[in-house]
Homo-oligomer: A and B are copies of this chain.
Amino acid sequence: MNKADFSYEKIVKGEGFQTHTVKWEALRDYCKRLFMSQSMPEEDAFTVADALVDADLSGVPSHGTTRTQIYLKRLEAGVVNPVFKPVIEKENPASVLVNANNGNGMVAGKYAMELACKKARDNGSCFVFVNHSNHIGMAGYYPKIAASKGMIGFTTTSANPGIAPWGSRQPFLGTSPIAIAAPTRGDPVLLDMAPSQVAMGKVVLAAKLGTAIPEGWALDADGKPTTDPNEGKKGSVVPIGGPKGSGLSFFSQILGGILSGAQYGPHVNTLYYDFKNPQEMGHVFAAIDISGLMDLNVFQDRMETIIREIKALPRIEGVMEIFLPGEIEMRLRKQRMREGIQITDVVYQELKDLGEKYGVQFSLESCGE
């Protein structure tokens, strides 16, 4: 391990790693065909591939196509249902309970967010809770759907233990993301954050790439700070603001895991280590229709004003530009749609091997190094 050299930004940009530049649509198409090889209908396979590639485009490779392998492995093991329909179990004007029937979490999530938006348009707002579900990938994918319809979007989910409740040394609470988006006339603003200093996915990726992690990211199984991602994977990640991050995750378990009728924390079966039991994850997707409260144009004008004001603030020495939540990701996304996505050789080879394993023609031309 080269501790001194570690930088997550370097992983995102591929600096210091051998990378391949691939076209995003080709990557999406290839992943779609991989999922279809495991009996997923084309439309659903497209949704999963689109959500994974969206993470790669946005510079969140921990939740990108590096996860294709594990999603396929679970389908192959028969612990995820490839062909399913989400079923509405309870329906009120502004709250719905959906059973995902152990289908892919991204497919269920997209369905749930679109349902939340449809009902928010009619009623002002709506929460859709989902149970019997699986990993949803990058949580920010869903609120962006709401923002594209002129709505505020919100997502959180239950998750496997990653955070020790404040005062404890044992991981119990999930590193559950909280994602919220608001529309502007251009790209939405999007906050997509784990309640920890970093998402466990970043520790997992560092372990895969064989590089150390900075102090303050993770604690080992004894609750002691570590820079070894393999030890961090066995331990917990440090919550932001101490009891505050721990409390945020507690409420993600309550909303995503308890009120949904799904599981939470230690009762969510792991994506990576359990191939006998469904994950039993739960989520919540919410939308607030802006037009029910205020003319969307007025809202957009006000958003432009606050953004202009923030951009014009005096900066800390050395800072070239003040970025809004999600802005770096949106900007990288556009650049990568034009110029291609740098994926590390580790992930590139992994994807190539998956094609051989599942009999899918490899179609990722590397258009750079």
Question: Is A189's CB under 8 angstroms from B124's CB?
Answer: no
Known pairs A93-B123, A165-B313, A166-B322; list 8 more (Cβ under 8 Å): A93-B124, A124-B127, A167-B316, A168-B310, A182-B254, A191-B248, A251-B325, A253-B306
Interface flag for A152 (CB, 8 Å): yes
Tell me the nearest residue of chain B to A223, going by C-beta: B316
Question: Is B292's CB under 8 angstroms from A247's CB?
Answer: no
Tell me which residues across on chain B come within 8 A of A197, comparing CB atoms: 241
Question: Is B97's CB under 8 angstroms from A94's CB?
Answer: no
Task: Show 24 A/B contacts (Cβ-Cβ < 8 Å), sorted by A.
Answer: A93-B93, A95-B124, A95-B292, A96-B124, A97-B293, A97-B294, A125-B125, A164-B313, A167-B321, A168-B313, A168-B319, A169-B313, A172-B310, A172-B313, A180-B251, A193-B248, A240-B240, A240-B245, A243-B325, A253-B306, A258-B302, A258-B303, A261-B294, A265-B309
Interface flag for A264 (CB, 8 Å): yes
Closest-CB distance, A12 to chain B (whole angstroms)? 15
A240 to B178, CA, bound (A): 14
A253 to B258, CA, bound (A): 29
In the complex where A95-B292, A127-B125, A254-B182 touch, is A244 in contact with B316 (Cβ < 8 A)? no
Closest-CB distance, A247 to chain B (whole angstroms)? 4
Tell me which residues across on chain B come within 8 A of A315, comparing CB atoms: 167-169
Interface flag for A323 (CB, 8 Å): yes
- Name the prevailing secondary structure of the A interface residues: mixed
Question: Is A299's CB under 8 angstroms from B258's CB?
Answer: yes
Tell me which residues across on chain B come within 8 A of A166, comparing CB atoms: 322-323
When the two chains form the complex, which single residue of B191, B250, B266 contacts A189, counting CB atoms closer than 8 Å? B250
Question: Is A322's CB under 8 angstroms from B167's CB?
Answer: yes
Question: Is A316's CB under 8 angstroms from B251's CB?
Answer: no
Tell me which residues across on chain B come within 8 A of A306, comparing CB atoms: 253-254, 258, 264-265
> Which of A251, A302, A324 has the most C-beta atoms of chain B within 10 angstroms of its own C-beta?
A251
In the complex where A127-B125, A293-B95, A313-B172 touch, is A191 in contact with B90 (Cβ < 8 A)? no
